[in-house]
Structure 1
Amino acid sequence: MLKIKTVFFFITLTGLTCVSNFTNAQMAGNPGITLIHQIDSIIQSQVNDNKIPGAVIEVKKGDEVIYKQAYGYAQKLDYELRPLAQPEQMTTEHLFDIASLTKMVGTTTSMMLLVDKGLVHIDDPVSKYVKAFGTPDKAAITIRNLLTHTAGIYEWYPMYYRAHNKQETFKLIGELPLAFPVGEGRHYSDLGFTVLGEIIEKVSGLPLDQFEEQNIFIPLGMRHTMFNPLKKNQHYKIAATSPGNPYEKRMVYDPALGFQFKEIKHNQWNGWRHYVVKGEVSDGNAWYAEKGVAGAAGLFSTVDDLQKMVDMLMNKGMVDGKQFISENTISTFLTKDKFKNGLGWMMDPENSFMKDAPEGSFGHTGFTGTSIAVVPSKKISVILLINREQMGLIDGKQYYNVNPIRAAVFKAVMKYTE
């Protein structure tokens, strides 16, 4: 372990090119050097090939950060996808739009705290907190169903066509019909986690962003984790995401993606952004309909802050010698259901970002290119943040698929940290 950490400082101070100065024999005899070489080769090649603009990675084993590095650029292109004359270099201090990691870092952790305090019970019917769910079709939906994506709620819906703030958004979700039978299948739903955000607000009496700041981020020392960073009285380094919302617009307009709703007419709304999104949440529902604060998306964070959250979970709720969340609650949330996932957290080892992970591993991904993979049995975590949306859509259809990068990095970490 000590050798690995020494190499981390050497690489950071002398530059990535020094990795190639090691002979094959030296790398073969030092798994720490080999791991760094593998990670650098995987990520830097993607940057060099203009597949991704940049990335930040942090790998930790036990109490030691064995590698932390930034690659490429925080912003490389303008709105027209033209190269900037002076692209912004990526650093490990940059904030990323963590997209659906918001569901874990913010919403799921909030639910853990409320469950821990006895203010919420996992198998409570949602209608106990949200009256709109008291209808015959929704009465059976529980908080567990929302956390496990088994509530039968629409997977996605362009809320901003019919809602302009969070109150209207909450009301609209309550009015929408179910898309699937309750409890009979896992259908990943942003709307379900938006409802969890509503429950957190109702139970706590605080807006979601204030509750999470006061009860999670400040206590854990996550000083660079927040919603709407541009509204703060500080200048943060922030990685840029998409030029507007071209993929989400395609979700509304293109029947081939399967998200067509007969009540949605294209000309009903035209508030699309026509600039590079930077410091505003990329997710359309979170930005257009909920002003940047949602249970499904909206958080910005750094790799170091995310590591603090991971450390708390890895240490079974202990932080600085104190129990932040009870071990029992964490165990409950990190126990697999019949669909091989936990409450909020993904645990199925078939997920490509943590392929073939040992039993008990957990993690999640974010649409912007972010991911967390945690292997408690080996005390290993891999946090990989990629601002893939900055490159725009490939052939006007989709963002670059970073799952192979995630899989290759995770495989290398598992291989060389035995």
Structure 2
Amino acid sequence: MKNTDIRIYFLYVLFFFIASCSSVKKDKPKVVFSHIPTEVVDLEIDKPQKKATLFDVSDEGKKWVDSIYDAMPLDEKIGQLFMVAAYSNKDNAHTNAIEKLITENKIGGLIFFQGGPLAQAKLTNRFQAKSKVPLFIGNDAEWGLAMRLDSTYSYPYNMTLGAVQDMKLIEKMGVQIGQQSKRLGLQFNFAPVLDINTNPKNPIIGFRSFGEDKYKVTERAVALMKGYQSEGVFATGKHFPGHGDTETDSHKALPTVNFSKERLEMMEFYPYKQMFAEGLSSVMVAHLNVPSLESRKNYPSSISYNVVTDVLQKELGFDGLIFTDALNMKAVSNVHKAGYVDLKAFLAGNDILLFPEDVPLAIEIFKDAYRDSLLTEKRIAFSVKKILKFKYLAGLNSYKPIEIKNLYEDLNPSKNNALEYELYENAITVLKNTNSILPIKELENQKIAYVKMGDATNSSFVSTLKKYAEITEVADTNLDSLQLKLKPFTTVIIGYHKSNAAFKNHDFTSNELAKLAFLTKNNNVILDVFASPYSLLPITNFDDLGGLVISYQNSAIAQEVSAELIFGAISSKGKLPVTISSDFVAKSGFSTEKLNILGFTAPENVGMNPVVLSKIDAIAQKAINGRMAPGMQILVARKGKVVFQKSYGSLTYESKSKVLNTDLYDVASLTKILSTLPNAMLQYDANKINMETRLDSMLPIFKNSNKKDIRFKEFLSHYARLLPWIPFYKATIDRNGNPLEAYYRKVKEAPFSTKVADSLYLRDDYHDTIMKIIADSKLLPQKGYRYSDFTFIILKEYLEKLTGKKLDELSYENFYKPLGANNTMYNPLEKINKNRIAPTEIDTYFRHQTIQGYVHDMGAAMEGGIGGHAGIFSNSMDVAKIMQLYLQKGNYGNRQYFSQKTFDDFNTCYFCAEGNRRGVGFDKPQLGKSGPTCGCASMTSFGHTGFTGTMAWADPETEIVYIFLSNRTYPNDAVNKLSKGNIREDIQEIIYDSIEF
């Protein structure tokens, strides 16, 4: 027999002899030593002198450790080994029990579970104040503090991160979680998960794993660890020796890992080896049955000396802190009773015993083992001094209480959202893209339906899809009826939405699988899965799918970013982290085309300060409180990304209907640059007109008029001596303001079919009268800048005569339909519900009714609502699309609508030297003190304002698009308080102040 065998045998005999002779002392629990392991040896690992590591402390630190240790009696030393479960959402009985463990048993730390951040911070301060030696405080924050706490941020799960290819983003996430953890007084984040999820049926790891590839898992774990630890929060790799290929939840029973040691070393240990080399602070040992590492049957790895000491510490060389997994978990608590399991875990080589069930009992068992020489001073010192060393490294030697003030704000900074946008932009994965169905383009040829599957919310996804195109939501429980409804549609988007909450079942039901198979066989389908990729495992045939997108989670930002991808605002970058079929193996993923259309992100991602932007709220509220406008929409975009889109107030002062981003406003003179001007640019691009074209060659009616020699650039620059406006309607009403019968009818009849308002129809030939009045009108005596509506009334006439089409048709066909500006239109009552439209006036002088859905401008109303100078209704998102088209010099969605030269020609101020700030059709920044902007926009910027209280402005130098829509004219336009209050300009100034780079 070998010496080592003799020694083990001797210890075995001695152990049972002591166990049988032990007496039960008064007032102490009975210690049954047969539960103590046979490996009763000192944990003294002889190693050669090593180079300095992250875990080394200064001489001052060593003195602190030794002084604390030497002053401790035995029970206090033992107390340092326990990290007890605490909750901030439980009653005083729980709090008092924890406090008692701190004051009487001198426990070493707390792992907080459910509760809220403020309550946890207060308890941490209370408990730390009671502790003789500062406590370790830890949380499970695998995807942020929200894993355990309410009112905190939830970042993407590890499976989602597994699709991200940019490790800098993952490290950035680690930094932010580290910052929030530190702010909450934590020293440990029990993350990252190093388990390689090679078993899709794994019930407890799954989405908590980065994937099935050991290299990819390791890259991401290292990135997160570096992030945590750069902020002074210790990372904990888990669950050693590897929980990825199991089918049992260790919270409920003991899982078995049936792999050879060689396989474990090659696969499961790989991340640990790399993490150790990168400076991992601590490891959590799982409760697993691993026969190749522990010969005893069904013996948990967490209490195995072979696993914790021989493998983890001796063979792999780990010298950081070692935690057990929670000792209340059935995988280990079913094997040994409370107290005894703690000693077994400690003797196995663990340093900190997590979630013990009975600390006083465990301490007594430890002390008895110590008195009986089954537990030595050297063994205790090895772990306790290590614990104290890490407390010193964490700065607990100079502990300061958590500052409660601004805690919620500090834990939920806006940069959280900024990073989440970036992470999903890099994670969402396209697995199938037949015939380049993604991104959806040529919107003028598309008719798109959306069908929901799954039982979770889909509002962010659908609302974002509708910002890009007209989307019809279709539902029916009967498949045949559903298919009949879908028949007219060219593309069907199916969103599969499952709860974003952790540990929820993501599987398709059998009915859903049948429905999906039916719909994909009969339609051109894009399936977007807002759930674990494993949810696709039951699908055996993907042949009929046109597009397959994995969005991984159902968060609002995931839904928004996924909709962006479908329409091309971003390209797909993600790679599948796990295999789901022979067609879709790990690392699969197509890159899709990125189109230069507006997307969405947080202000930080385009160099803007969200705190400064938030000041817009106060200005908007000031306008509403001052009755400058009942409500408004405000949108800000930069670098092609919408970063601020809000609605304020109500549609009227009396209404309880709050303004929504989807509501429509009469944009008044914005019509000029949203409808008439871009159509004129097309003709300019086609050389039908140029800047020197004279009015008499554009329209015969001006051949013998005093306006025949006005050049194109003069009249579009409001430099043509035209009268500003003529109230055409006054000639058609009596002295009491009532419509004259010669011009109007209450019902539509020939030749009175031009609808001016409800029950009011104008003679169809009155348009000719308007044009004659303009042609015959006098010119102003001197040439100079004078704004005139005649310019765009004339231009509309020219476009319609030239093309043979009405202006509303031209704008829809040439721009709105291909741009997906489906909320931009003339005469909206013909297309949408009246309740979605902000009323503009209670008319008491002409139409004698509330003007809602009819154009406010009287001249445009007399043109049947279709004016060159007014008539367009729209919302902030659609207006922003057209302004972005201009900002990109005629290109949007990678389609060139008109040439860059054409845009530049129209955005030129030809008469600035004469004191006229205007471009050709565009307004420009003021040349002096007064003007349309804040005075902070560049001279290359351009836009327009509208009489109803609107503004659209774009700046090529800062890449800013700013939209302001309101109905300041409601209930009447007697005083323009919005303009006098500089509301639009003040908001624009805030936007420019928010730019940081």
Which residue is equivalent to 2:707?
138
Aligned partner of residue 389 in structure 1, secondary structure: coil
Residue 275 (structure 1) shift: 1.9
Q: Deviation per CA, 1:344-392, whole angstroms, max 9, x where unpaired?
A: 1111335243423212011110000000121110111110111111143
CA change 1:5–1:59 in 2 (3 A) is farther
Q: Deviation per CA, 1:49-103, whole angstroms, max 9, x where unpaired?
A: 4332001000011022111000001123xxxxxx3xx532101111110000011
- Does the 8 A contact of 1:354 with 1:373 survive in 2? no
Which residue is equivalent to 2:268?
none
* Greater than 6 Å deviation, 4+ residue runs: 7-10
In the alignment, structure 1 residue 34 sits paired with structure 2 residue 614: no
Q: Structure 1 counterpart of 2:725, which letter?
A: W
CA distance in 2, matches of 1:412, 1:359: 18
The 5 Å alignment of 1:242-391 reads 242-244=841-843, 272-287=846-861, 289-338=862-911, 339-350=916-927, 351-391=931-971
Q: Deviation per CA, 1:263-295, whole angstroms, max 9, x where unpaired?
A: xxxxxxxxx1222211000001111x2121111
CA distance in 2, matches of 1:6, 1:180: 58
Aligned partner of residue 643 in structure 2, secondary structure: strand
CA distance in 2, matches of 1:231, 1:400: 32
CA distance in 2, matches of 1:240, 1:39: 24
Q: Structure 2 counterpart of 1:175, which letter?
A: D
Which residue is equivalent to 1:151?
720
Equivalent of 2:837, from 228, 231, 238?
Answer: 238
Equivalent of 1:177, from 778, 785, 793?
Answer: 778
- Does the 8 A contact of 2:834 with 2:852 survive in 1? no
Which residue is equivalent to 1:254?
none
Which residue is equivalent to 1:392?
972
CA change 1:202–1:231 in 2 (3 A) is same
Residue 234 (structure 1) shift: 5.8
- Does the 8 A contact of 2:613 with 2:990 survive in 1? no
CA distance in 2, matches of 1:383, 1:108: 18
CA distance in 2, matches of 1:93, 1:71: 12
- Does the 8 A contact of 2:884 with 2:954 survive in 1? no
Q: Structure 2 counterpart of 1:294, which letter?
A: G
Equivalent of 1:122, from 676, 691, 697?
Answer: 691
Aligned partner of residue 353 in structure 1, secondary structure: coil
In the alignment, structure 1 residue 416 sits paired with structure 2 residue 976: no
Task: Give the alignment's TM-score, normalised by structure 2.
Answer: 0.35
Aligned partner of residue 149 in structure 1, secondary structure: coil
CA distance in 1, matches of 2:621, 2:681: 37
- Does the 8 A contact of 1:95 with 1:236 survive in 2? no
Aligned partner of residue 675 in structure 2, secondary structure: helix
Which residue is equivalent to 1:268?
none
CA distance in 2, matches of 1:4, 1:109: 38
Q: Deviation per CA, 1:178-197, whole angstroms, max 9, x where unpaired?
A: 2344xx21110011210111
CA distance in 1, matches of 2:625, 2:689: 49
Residue 45 (structure 1) shift: 2.4
Alpha-carbon RMSD: 2.7
Which residue is equivalent to 1:203?
802
Task: Give the alignment's TM-score, normalised by structure 1.
Answer: 0.81
- Does the 8 A contact of 1:153 with 1:191 survive in 2? yes
In the alignment, structure 1 residue 6 sits paired with structure 2 residue 403: no
- Does the 8 A contact of 1:159 with 1:169 survive in 2? yes
Structure with the bigger RCO (C-alpha within 8 Å, sep 6+) is 1
CA distance in 2, matches of 1:323, 1:359: 25
- Does the 8 A contact of 2:925 with 2:932 survive in 1? no
Which residue is equivalent to 1:258?
none
In the alignment, structure 1 residue 406 sits paired with structure 2 residue 406: no
Aligned partner of residue 951 in structure 2, secondary structure: strand
Aligned partner of residue 645 in structure 2, secondary structure: strand
CA change 1:302–1:65 in 2 (3 A) is same
- Does the 8 A contact of 1:123 with 1:144 survive in 2? yes
Residue 3 (structure 1) shift: 5.0
CA distance in 2, matches of 1:236, 1:379: 34
Residue 226 (structure 1) shift: 0.9
Which residue is equivalent to 1:255?
none
CA change 1:292–1:111 in 2 (3 A) is same
Residues 349-358 or 143-152, more deviating? 349-358
Which residue is equivalent to 1:79?
none
CA change 1:4–1:384 in 2 (3 A) is farther
- Does the 8 A contact of 1:151 with 1:192 survive in 2? no
Q: Structure 2 counterpart of 1:414, which letter?
A: Y
Aligned partner of residue 356 in structure 1, secondary structure: coil
CA distance in 2, matches of 1:136, 1:274: 36
Q: Structure 2 counterpart of 1:72, which letter?
A: G
The structure number with the bigger radius of gyration is 2
CA distance in 2, matches of 1:365, 1:5: 35
Aligned partner of residue 67 in structure 1, secondary structure: strand
Q: Deviation per CA, 1:204-225, whole angstroms, max 9, x where unpaired?
A: 1111111111112112221111
- Does the 8 A contact of 1:52 with 1:391 survive in 2? no
Residue 143 (structure 1) shift: 2.0
CA distance in 1, matches of 2:621, 2:832: 34
CA distance in 2, matches of 1:154, 1:5: 54
CA change 1:103–1:8 in 2 (3 A) is farther
Q: Deviation per CA, 1:110-155, whole angstroms, max 9, x where unpaired?
A: 1111111122223211111222212262221122222111121211
CA distance in 2, matches of 1:227, 1:385: 16
CA distance in 1, matches of 2:860, 2:647: 28
- Does the 8 A contact of 1:153 with 1:180 survive in 2? no
CA distance in 1, matches of 2:718, 2:865: 22
CA distance in 2, matches of 1:49, 1:202: 45
Ranges in structure 1 where 5+ consecutive residues have no aligned partner? 15-26, 77-82, 250-271
- Does the 8 A contact of 1:194 with 1:294 survive in 2? yes
- Does the 8 A contact of 1:362 with 1:373 survive in 2? yes
- Does the 8 A contact of 1:102 with 1:296 survive in 2? yes
CA distance in 2, matches of 1:122, 1:99: 26
Ranges in structure 2 where 5+ consecutive residues have no aligned partner? 1-412, 422-459, 461-554, 557-603, 733-762
CA distance in 2, matches of 1:169, 1:39: 42
Which residue is equivalent to 1:228?
827
CA distance in 1, matches of 2:786, 2:420: 43
Question: How many residue pairs were aligned?
Answer: 363
CA change 1:4–1:202 in 2 (3 A) is farther
Residue 7 (structure 1) shift: 7.2
Q: Deviation per CA, 1:231-251, whole angstroms, max 9, x where unpaired?
A: 23666711111111x6xx5xx
Q: Structure 2 counterpart of 1:296, which letter?
A: H
CA change 1:317–1:133 in 2 (3 A) is same
The 5 Å alignment of 1:57-96 reads 57-76=634-653, 83=654, 86-96=655-665
CA distance in 2, matches of 1:318, 1:91: 29
CA distance in 1, matches of 2:954, 2:806: 30
CA change 1:318–1:180 in 2 (3 A) is same
